[in-house]
Amino acid sequence: MSADRLAQLQQAIDKRSAEQLLRTPVTLQHYNGRLLSVAGTPYLNFSGNDYLGLATEPEVLQAYADGARDFGAGSTGSPLVTGQHQVHARLCDTLCDWLGTEQVMLFSSGFAANQTMLQTLAQKADTLVLDKLSHASLIDGALHSDAVLKRFAHNDIAQLEMILQQTAQPLVVTEGIFSMDGDSPNLRTMQALCQQFNAPLLLDDAHGLGVTGPDGKGSAAAQGIAATELFCLMANFGKALGVGGAFIGGSKTVIDYLTQFGRHYVYSTALSPALCAAVIKSIELCRSQQWRRDKLQSNIALFRHLAEDLALLKSESAIQGVVLGSSERALAVSQQLKAAGFWLSAIRSPTVPKGSERLRITLSAQHTEYDIKQLVQQLRQLI
Ligand SMILES: Cc1ncc(COP(=O)(O)O)c(C=O)c1O
- Assign residue 311 the CATH number of its domain: 3.90.1150.10
SS3 325: coil
- With 80 as the cut, is the pLDDT of residue 246 above it? yes
Q: Which helix (H) or strand (E) holds 142?
A: helix 136-144
Q: Are residues 248 and 295 in the same domain?
A: no
Q: Are residues 105 and 150 in the same domain?
A: yes
Q: Are residues 339 and 231 in the same domain?
A: no
- CA pair distance 272, 87, nearest whole angstrom: 10
pLDDT-based confidence at residue 20 (cuts at 50, 70, 90): confident
Calculate how far, in angstroms, residue 60's C-alpha sits from the geometric centre of ligand 1: 21
Q: Are residues 228 and 367 in the same domain?
A: no
Mutate to test the pocket of ligand 1, among 116, 179, 347 (most ligand atoms within 8 A of CB): 179
CB proximity list for 30: less than 8 A, separation 6 or greater: 36, 37, 42
Among protein residues, the one with the nearest Cα to ligand 1's atom 10 is 110
Q: Verify whether residue 15 is a known catalytic residue.
A: no
Q: Which of 288, 305, 334 is the last residue of a domain?
A: 288
Question: Could you give the angle at the alpha carbon of 139 between the alpha carbons of 364 and 210, nearest 5°?
Answer: 25
Residue 8 lies in a domain: no
Residue 17 lies in a domain: no
Bridge partners for 173 per DSSP = 130, 202
Residue 48 CB–ligand 1 contact under 6 Å: no
Residue type, 170: P
Q: Are residues 154 and 201 in the same domain?
A: yes
Domain, as residue range, for 79: 58-288
Q: Are residues 314 and 215 in the same domain?
A: no
Query: Model confidence over 108-138: pLDDT tens digits?
Result: 999 999 999 999 999 999 999 999 999 999 9
pLDDT-based confidence at residue 19 (cuts at 50, 70, 90): confident
**Which listed residue (85, 88, 217, 239) is catalytic?**
239
Residue 12 lies in a domain: no
Q: Are residues 118 and 259 in the same domain?
A: yes
Residue type, 20: Q
Bridge partners for 250 per DSSP = 103, 232
**Which listed residue (181, 204, 205, 371) is catalytic?**
204
Question: Could you give the angle at the alpha carbon of 331 between the alpha carbons of 325 and 336, nearest 5°?
Answer: 120
Residue 55 CB–ligand 1 contact under 6 Å: no
* Residue 126 phi, psi (nearest 5): -90, 165
Q: Verify whether residue 264 is a known catalytic residue.
A: no
- Answer whether 45's CB lies under 8 Å from 34's CB: yes
- CA pair distance 138, 304, nearest whole angstrom: 30
Ramachandran quadrant class, 311 (left: phi over 0; alpha: psi -120 to 50; beta: rest)? left
Q: Verify whether residue 135 is a known catalytic residue.
A: yes
Question: Which ligand 1 atom lies nearest to the CA of residue 112?
Answer: 11
DSSP code at position 350: T
Calculate how far, in angstroms, residue 244's C-alpha sits from the geometric centre of ligand 1: 10
- With 90 as the cut, is the pLDDT of residue 354 above it? no
Q: Are residues 300 and 220 in the same domain?
A: no
Q: Verify whether residue 144 is a known catalytic residue.
A: no
Q: How far apart are the first and last CA of the chain?
A: 48
Strand-strand pairing, 342-343 and 319-323: unpaired
Number of domains observed in the structure of the chain? 2
Q: Are residues 197 and 321 in the same domain?
A: no
Calculate how far, in angstroms, residue 64's C-alpha sits from the geometric centre of ligand 1: 22
- CA pair distance 124, 128, nearest whole angstrom: 10
Residue 205 CB–ligand 1 contact under 6 Å: no
Q: Residue 1: what pLDDT? A: 64
C-alpha dist (Å) from residue 178 to 54, 107, 320, 352: 21, 21, 11, 12
Q: Verify whether residue 49 is a known catalytic residue.
A: yes
Number of residues assigned to the chain: 383
Residue 209 lies in a domain: yes
Question: Could you give the angle at the alpha carbon of 239 between the alpha carbons of 237 and 243, nearest 5°?
Answer: 50
Rounded mean pLDDT of the chain?
96
- Span of 250-254, 264-268, 321-325, 375-379 with lowest mean pLDDT: 321-325
Overall average pLDDT of the 80-97 stretch? 97
Query: Model confidence over 269-283: pLDDT tens digits?
Result: 999 999 999 999 999
Query: Model confidence over 288-305: pLDDT tens digits?
Result: 999 999 999 999 999 999
Q: Which of 225, 260, 288 is the last residue of a domain?
A: 288
